[in-house]
Chain A
Amino acid sequence: MAATATDSRAQQDAHPSGDERFALLDKALKRARFEQDQLVELLHTAQEVFGYLSNDVLIYLARQLRLPPSRVLGVASFYHLFTFEAPGDHICTVCLGTACYVKGAEEVVEGTAQALGVPAGQTSDDGRLTLWTARCVGSCGLAPVVVFDGTVLGKQTTDELVTHIREVFAAEDAAAEEEEAG
């Protein structure tokens, strides 16, 4: 009985936009059995799927879990990990944990921010790069650690990191040009 009720609820409330990413979120919702105390887990899933938490996604979660929207936003805004603005094409996260900090991570953040014109914690105006900071990635042996698009880069200096990012951008530009040419 309970299972059917849940199924019909999910079907009924499937997101009208037809965005397929919502299907992934639906799957997670079903796995969580629409339990309200699974909110944080589901926010994680939503951020993984969408890259950030838009109002649309928050309202969807609130509806599906039968929670007030203010509670959902209240919980999400408590955690630094959740972000409410769309990140850029590339995400560069600099670890500011104790070990990285001692090894000069702050200089890396400031240097990179200056060199690429992206303030820490924000996205560049062209929407290409987001520069985030984090508290300990858990690879203190590689301090200072940078996570660029999911890849861990250890023992970084400002120059190294900026060069790496510029290389990635250059490779991307070249590929785009080639595509345009033919």
Chain B
Amino acid sequence: MARPKRPNVPVVIDGHEVMAYPDDTVLSVAKRNGIRIPHLCALDGVSVYGGCRLCVVDVAERHKLMPACGTAVAEDMEVHTQSRTLQEHRKLILEMILAEGNHVCAVCVSNGACELQDLAVELGVDHVRPDYQFPRRTVDASHPKYTFDPNRCVLCTRCVRTCSEVEGAHVWDVAGRANGSYLIADLGQPWGEAPSCTWCGKCVAVCPTGALAWKGKAVGEMRHDPNLVAFLTSARDEGEWLDRETM
């Protein structure tokens, strides 16, 4: 279904009346209208996952909180994104994400340019209430160009979706279950030995933390480029190969 020329679905977000396209989600229409909803796993250009739950919002007349990234807009929908409860929920969710892995900013390649770190600052996470799990995870530096440090992985599956939907190789997937989940390359082999990897580096570009990084980067040197995927998937239609702003 082609999009109408102009957005034609009226939605109210935090008291602002905005117009959405029929195929919009709450998150996408909020983003276009400059209303900030914190999110981590959502990434423009790939499918919706709805795993991090940081983008939970309150939709009037629905009895539970909805993830903004996976909630389709409806006419005259009334959405609240910033209530006290929501902020509390988001904070706790982020604290749980931090407690689940081994996130040590001081020694991380992404320090200073990390979406997880930025979110913690934004949501005011100054300490973590759940007990740290300190999982034992081994770094995979077998790839000649990139490294994978599962200690910093938040299982947002951006890399999984990007590799599968944009590159088409589907090297990554999530194995195991619940808090024992982990990222695998092909049949759980070291990344460098995974035959389907094309070395394209898009997974590295979209990683929100320092889990996937260029080899040889020191603390705080890694810069990711999560907008790359949205650009790649729309550039042909938009005809904007030359005027992309690079980071």
Contacts and interface: CB of A to CB of B under 8 A. Distances in A.
A153 interface: no
What DSSP secondary structure best describes chain B's contact surface? Answer: loop
A70 B176 contact: no
Given A55-B187, A58-B187, A59-B187, A70 B177 contact: no
Contacts of A78: 175-177
A74 B187 contact: no
Chain A's interface size range is 10 to 19
B202 to A, nearest CB: 16
Contacts of B176: 77-78
A71 B171 CA distance: 9
A68 interface: yes
A74 B185 CA distance: 10
Contacts of A74: 173-175, 184
A71 B187 contact: no
B186 to A, nearest CB: 5
Residue of B177, B185, B187 most packed against chain A (CB within 10 A): B187
B187 A69 contact: yes
Q: Which 6 A-B pairs have CB atoms at the shortest separation, nearest pair first?
A: A68-B170, A70-B173, A74-B173, A77-B175, A74-B175, A78-B177
Interface of A: 55, 58-59, 68-71, 73-74, 77-78
26 contacts: A55-B187, A58-B187, A59-B187, A68-B169, A68-B171, A68-B186, A68-B196, A69-B187, A70-B170, A70-B171, A70-B172, A70-B185, A70-B187, A71-B170, A73-B184, A73-B186, A73-B187, A73-B188, A74-B174, A74-B175, A74-B184, A77-B176, A77-B177, A77-B184, A78-B175, A78-B177
